[in-house]
């Protein structure tokens, strides 16, 4: 069942998303060569709690951290660890905030130092595909229109779309209906209507779309160990417009990519 939000509830999600956006900005200040990913997790949790909110991911189905940190061939759901970021790495930082009874969720993939042109192109295409998906997230369209726009764009560039992992509705729960795949047919899937709040999150691979799950039960990586990129926004559907509730502006003030 899809839970349609009132304007007041959307406003609460937006306030949660503001804390999330500023937390991402704080994390971005520390993303550089030599930094341990566990340190980034500590920064995020302290910032979120200092602002009267709770990290959505910590303890979710047993997840041990506030951030999903996914490096290079890890697609999503990587654990923060003692791993130190290296020149040429890419790192996806996925974070959620629970505030005033509502969740927000967003992600950003960063290049570290000198990253190969082919991998930088993957990051740019994935980020661009997120906004093409958002353009289709409007009242009267269907969920398949979002996935179709993302899939058509990235596949034309030679990349592949992860199929097993998808975007989602969110609100009082971190994951709600509907699922929002990053592939699909125009005009298919649930109708997009006023009050829907969804997380759109393309997960795009440089090589094969096939993935495997590591023994920790969480970490998802590409089967061929080629890099994967991930960007995400939480958006609200209104009758006359779509509003992006999360923001990357605090990241983009620091990271010129």
pLDDT at residue 257 in the model: 81
pLDDT at residue 204 in the model: 99
Binding site for a divalent metal cation: what residues are annotated? Answer: 94, 105, 168, 201, 232
Query: Would you state the structure tokens that stand for residue 63, as one six-digit string?
Result: 């997840």
Binding site: what residues are annotated? Answer: 77, 94, 105, 168, 175, 201, 232
pLDDT at residue 92 in the model: 98
Structural domains of the chain, ranges and CATH numbers in brackets: 7-252 (3.90.230.10)
pLDDT at residue 193 in the model: 98
pLDDT along the chain (257 residues), means of 10: 97 98 98 98 98 98 98 98 98 98 98 98 98 98 98 98 98 98 98 98 98 97 98 98 98 92
Binding site for substrate: what residues are annotated? Answer: 77, 175
Helix axes 117-135, 143-156, angle to 10 degrees: 160
pLDDT at residue 222 in the model: 98
pLDDT at residue 158 in the model: 98
pTM here is 0.98
pLDDT at residue 59 in the model: 97
């Amino acid at each position: 069942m899809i839970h349609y939000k009132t304007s007041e509830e959307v406003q609460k999600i937006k306030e949660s998303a503001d804390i999330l956006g500023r937390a991402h900005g704080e994390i971005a200040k520390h993303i550089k060569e030599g930094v341990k990913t566990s340190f980034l997790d500590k920064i995020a949790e302290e910032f979120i709690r200092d602002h009267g909110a709770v990290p959505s991911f910590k303890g979710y189905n047993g997840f041990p951290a506030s951030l999903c940190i996914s490096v290079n061939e890890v697609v999503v759901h990587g654990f923060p660890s003692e791993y130190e970021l290296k020149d040429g790495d890419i790192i996806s930082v996925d974070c959620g905030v629970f505030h005033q009874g509502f969740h927000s969720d967003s992600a950003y993939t960063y290049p570290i130092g000198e990253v190969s042109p082919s991998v930088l192109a993957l990051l740019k295409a994935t980020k661009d595909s997120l906004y093409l998906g958002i353009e289709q997230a409007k009242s009267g369209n269907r969920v398949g229109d979002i996935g179709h726009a993302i899939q058509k764009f990235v596949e034309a560039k030679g990349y592949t779309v992860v199929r097993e992992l998808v975007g989602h509705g969110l609100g009082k729960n971190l994951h709600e209906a509907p699922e929002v795949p990053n592939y699909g047919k125009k005009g298919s899937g649930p109708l997009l209507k006023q009050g829907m709040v969804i997380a759109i999150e393309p997960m795009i691979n440089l090589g094969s779309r096939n993935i495997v799950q590591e023994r920790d039960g969480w970490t998802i990586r590409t089967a061929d160990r080629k890099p994967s990129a991930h960007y995400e926004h939480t958006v609200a559907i209104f009758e006359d417009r779509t509003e992006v509730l999360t923001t990357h502006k605090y990241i983009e003030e620091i990271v010129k990519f």
